[in-house]
Amino acid sequence: MLIHHKLADLSQYFTEDELSKYVDSYIQEGYFNQDGALYLFPVAKSTEITMLNKTDWEPFAEAAGTTVDELATTEGIVQVAQRYYEWTDAQTPDVPADGKAFYGRDSMSNYFLISMKQMGKELFEVKDGKVTLNTDKELVRRIWDNYYVPFMKGYFASLGKFRSDDVKTGDVIAYTGSTSSAVYFPDSVETEDSSYPIFPENLFLYSWKFCKWLQYP
């Protein structure tokens, strides 16, 4: 808000109780000066959600005895992706190793940052103006094995500019991306020789589970 060509202090329009109802880190971004004034307000933010092509998921889930509950962790996604690859490969027994990828992810960096934090480590720590990179070998290896290995085995894919593009072409049936990308989730799959409508399943409904991408003892 501008007042006489100057930024207005928005804190005068909110009580402390009202501000406490918002995510604190979002509010803190608005205090970018040392004068204690709130200059920016988080009217729009995005987070990561997982979207699923429900139309293609249902026949696989029924045949494999799989439910969306299994997608609550990264390891679970990898396991389901393997079964999906094997199930699609079995549809054409005369053509070996032609299984399809199940899942894709828009941001590898978010995956690494979030996973490290969930395991009790900040990938980057800043203290006294100095940045420390935490690369715990065991933790990084676990994160990497649940990302790189599924790609190499064909369980995950990243072909288009965004993973919603890969859903559109039928190259994956699930992906994790920004909430803003949800509007681009396709309403049909289009391949070289076919086209059919699909319906989405927004796994944001299961956010209480998806907040933990990796499950640890």
Residues 39 and 75 in one domain: no
Query: Within the chain, what is the greatest distance between any pair of CA atoms?
Result: 74
> Do 35 and 59 belong together in one domain?
no
Note down the domain range covering 2. Answer: 1-43
In this structure, the answer to whether residues 119 and 179 fall within a common structural domain is yes
- The number of distinct structural domains making up the chain is 2
In this prediction, what percent of the chain has a pLDDT beyond 90?
62
Please spell the DSSP secondary structure of 14-74, one letter per residue. Answer: S-HHHHTTS-HHHHHTT--SSS-------S----EEEEEEHHHHHHHHHHHT--GGGGGSH
Distance CA 118, CA 52 (A): 24
The answer to whether residue 215 is domain-embedded is no
Residue 74 lies in a domain: yes
Q: Same structural domain for residues 21 and 77?
A: no
CA distances from 203 to 105, 116, 160, 162, 168 (A): 14, 22, 22, 18, 18
> What pLDDT shows up at residue 3?
52
CA distance 204 to 192: 31
- Spatial distance between the Cα atoms of 175 and 103, rounded to a whole number of angstroms: 5
Q: What is the residue-level pLDDT of the chain in tens, covering all 217 positions?
A: 555 457 889 999 999 999 999 889 889 989 877 788 999 988 888 888 899 999 999 999 999 999 999 998 899 999 999 999 999 999 999 999 999 999 999 999 999 998 998 899 989 988 888 999 988 999 999 999 999 999 999 999 999 999 999 999 999 999 999 988 888 999 999 999 999 999 998 775 444 333 444 443 3
